[in-house]
């Protein structure tokens, strides 16, 4: 076996090096352009030389295909935004360990356990998906009346066999830019309902900006800025940067899986209709949002427990600005809810997406629906509804202990 470092600085040399099964570490120097799709052999590492190395693929081509036990480090990988900058060979039985560190891309990063893949671990330590368009990916998980578009970063165990477990440690993931969000979801991690599981000790994100570009009148399609989907088991989700969504049905944070601890440290913002700040269908043990949630679109609720449960939710502040945009809506039993700086809504009555169906809602600050309940609710800073004839508080379920500083209907 040849463990020498192979420094390559031409497209031809890179293609030759990846075909040499004895080459374990291939170091790229300079900017390599117009490359065809390249497959790394099992055990190969592709690394930049530390001086801004770039590999740019031909228009219309996918980029780097990983096989097993591969690493990509210190490298910028570029395809057309609607192609996959980094993806994997699904014809191998195990991914081994796939590692991405200090990598940036234009183009989607898509890692799938399907076909023959039945095992593997993915380790990410620094991945910036600068631009990507995942809308053309037809595989989309389905549930609760909707389909979910893949993300700029997508890790998905698609196996139907529940004995197939893929593990991952995901740190330093970011996607999009404020004026150029990724198209589709941002960060997407998923297993398969009743089937393969995805286990993630840590999912840590930086700034995420996404826009699903979903057409108005398509209630069966959604995206998420950071989305933990079916059968994803995550110990800690940590959002260290802002998460912003821009389009129709673009959730900011969405959980269909099981998360022990979810901490959002920067502001959560949505601009599109029905773009909920945090929506839960799965299980969250402890949720802490240390910065404001603010929504601007019609029917864009701040915090919503549709299904499953949240044992503890602590939120800095929630503000919604449009018709039908409820501040907090609880439809299932939860534990303790605490808001530190109040809930404030500015809209009236309008349409909103609920489980794939458009319904009419009023922009109530705090709404406990029939079937919803809470062991304890404590709202410091009050609940305020500015919309005409909008009540700030609606309780059709049960609350063990309720404490609110101030309840204000600002316009009647």
* DSSP result, 5-69: EEEE-SHHHHHHHHH-TTEEEEEE-SEEEEEPPEEPPTT-EEEE-SS--EEEEPTT---EEE-SS
* Structure confidence at residue 34 as a pLDDT band (50, 70, 90): very high
Strand partners, 336: 312, 376
Check the CA dihedral 72-74-78-82 and report its sign: positive
The stretch 25-34 carries a mean pLDDT of 97
Does 117 score more than 70 pLDDT?
yes
Closest by alpha carbon to 389, among 357, 363, 360, 366? 363
Closest by alpha carbon to 143, among 237, 247, 228? 228
Task: Give 9's contacts (C-beta < 8 A, 6+ positions apart).
Answer: 28, 29, 30, 32
Does 227 score more than 80 pLDDT?
yes
333 vs 218, residue with greater confidence: 333
Does 3 score more than 70 pLDDT?
no
Contact 269, 252 (CB under 8 A): yes
Contact 280, 251 (CB under 8 A): no
Q: What is the pLDDT of residues 309-339, one digit of tens each?
A: 999 999 999 999 999 999 999 999 999 999 9
Q: What is the pLDDT of residues 253-288, one digit of tens each?
A: 999 999 999 999 999 999 999 999 999 999 999 999
The Cβ of residue 22 has, within 10 Å, a number of other Cβ atoms equal to: 12
Does 165 score more than 70 pLDDT?
yes
* Structure confidence at residue 81 as a pLDDT band (50, 70, 90): very high
Look up residue 392 and give its two tokens: 């700030």
* Structure confidence at residue 252 as a pLDDT band (50, 70, 90): very high
Contact 112, 90 (CB under 8 A): yes
What is the model's pLDDT at position 370? Answer: 96
What is the model's pLDDT at position 217? Answer: 85
* DSSP result, 295-362: E-STT--SEEE-SSEEEEEEES-EEE-STT--SEEE-SEEEEEEESS-EEE---EEEEEETTEEEEEE
Strand partners, 243: 208, 268
Contact 298, 322 (CB under 8 A): yes
Task: Give 78's contacts (C-beta < 8 A, 6+ positions apart).
Answer: 54, 55, 56, 57, 63, 85, 105, 106, 107
**Domain locations in the chain?**
39-410
Does 54 score more than 90 pLDDT?
yes
Does 293 score more than 80 pLDDT?
yes
Quote the Cα angle for 108-231-315, to 5°: 85
Closest by alpha carbon to 339, among 300, 303, 305? 303
What is the model's pLDDT at position 338? Answer: 98
Q: How many helices (H) and strands (E) does the chain have?
A: 1, 42
Q: What is the pLDDT of residues 57-76, one digit of tens each?
A: 999 999 999 999 999 999 99
Contact 292, 266 (CB under 8 A): no
Q: What is the pTM of this model?
A: 0.96
User: Which pairing describes strands 349-354 and 357-362: parallel, antiparallel, or unpaired?
Assistant: antiparallel
Average pLDDT value over all residues in the chain: 96
Does 6 score more than 70 pLDDT?
no
Does 151 score more than 80 pLDDT?
yes
What is the model's pLDDT at position 1? Answer: 45
What is the model's pLDDT at position 63? Answer: 99
What does the chain come to in residues?
A: 412
Closest by alpha carbon to 248, among 225, 269, 285, 219? 219
Give dist(CA 399, CA 383) in Å, integer. 16
* Structure confidence at residue 411 as a pLDDT band (50, 70, 90): low
Look up residue 137 and give its two tokens: 């990916």
Q: What is the pLDDT of residues 187-217, one digit of tens each?
A: 999 999 999 999 999 999 999 999 999 999 8
* Structure confidence at residue 356 as a pLDDT band (50, 70, 90): confident
């Amino acid at each position: 076996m040849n463990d020498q470092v192979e420094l390559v600085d031409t497209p031809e040399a890179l293609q030759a090096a990846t075909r040499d099964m004895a080459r374990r570490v291939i170091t790229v120097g300079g900017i390599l352009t117009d490359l065809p799709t390249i497959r790394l052999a099992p055990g190969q590492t592709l690394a930049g030389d530390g001086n801004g190395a770039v590999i740019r693929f031909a228009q219309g081509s996918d980029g780097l295909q990983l096989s097993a036990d591969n690493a990509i480090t210190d490298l910028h990988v570029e395809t057309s935004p609607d192609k996959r900058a980094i993806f994997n060979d699904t014809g191998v039985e195990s991914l081994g360990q796939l590692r991405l560190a200090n990598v940036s891309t234009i183009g989607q990063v898509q890692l799938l356990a399907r076909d023959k893949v039945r095992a593997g671990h993915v380790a990410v330590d620094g991945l910036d998906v600068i631009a990507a368009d995942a809308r053309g990916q037809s595989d989309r998980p389905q549930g609760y009346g909707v389909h979910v578009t893949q993300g700029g970063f997508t890790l998905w165990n698609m196996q139907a066999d529940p004995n197939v477990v893929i593990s991952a440690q995901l740190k330093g993931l970011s996607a999009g830019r404020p004026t150029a969000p990724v198209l589709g979801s941002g960060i997407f991690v998923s297993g398969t309902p009743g089937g393969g599981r995805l286990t993630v000790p840590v999912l840590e994100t930086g700034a995420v900006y996404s826009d699903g570009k979903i057409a108005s009148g398509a209630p069966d399609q959604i995206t998420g800025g950071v989305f933990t989907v079916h059968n994803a088991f995550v110990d800690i989700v940590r959002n260290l940067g802002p998460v912003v969504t821009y389009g129709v049905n673009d959730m900011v944070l969405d959980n269909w899986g099981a998360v022990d601890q979810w901490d959002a440290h920067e502001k959560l913002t949505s601009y599109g209709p029905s773009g909920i700040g945090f929506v839960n269908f799965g299980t969250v043990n402890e949720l802490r949002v240390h910065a404001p949630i603010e929504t601007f679109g019609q029917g864009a609720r701040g915090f919503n427990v549709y299904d499953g449960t949240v044992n503890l939710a602590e939120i800095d502040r929630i503000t919604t600005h449009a018709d039908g945009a409820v501040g907090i809506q609880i439809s299932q039993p939860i534990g303790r809810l605490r808001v530190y700086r109040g809930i404030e809504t500015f809209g009236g009555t309008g349409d909103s997406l609920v489980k794939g169906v458009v319904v009419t809602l009023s922009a109530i600050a705090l709404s406990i629906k029939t079937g919803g309940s809470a062991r304890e609710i404590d709202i410091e800073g009050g609940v305020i509804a500015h919309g005409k004839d909008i009540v700030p508080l609606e309780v059709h379920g049960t609350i063990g202990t309720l404490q609110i500083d101030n309840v204000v209907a600002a316009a009647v």
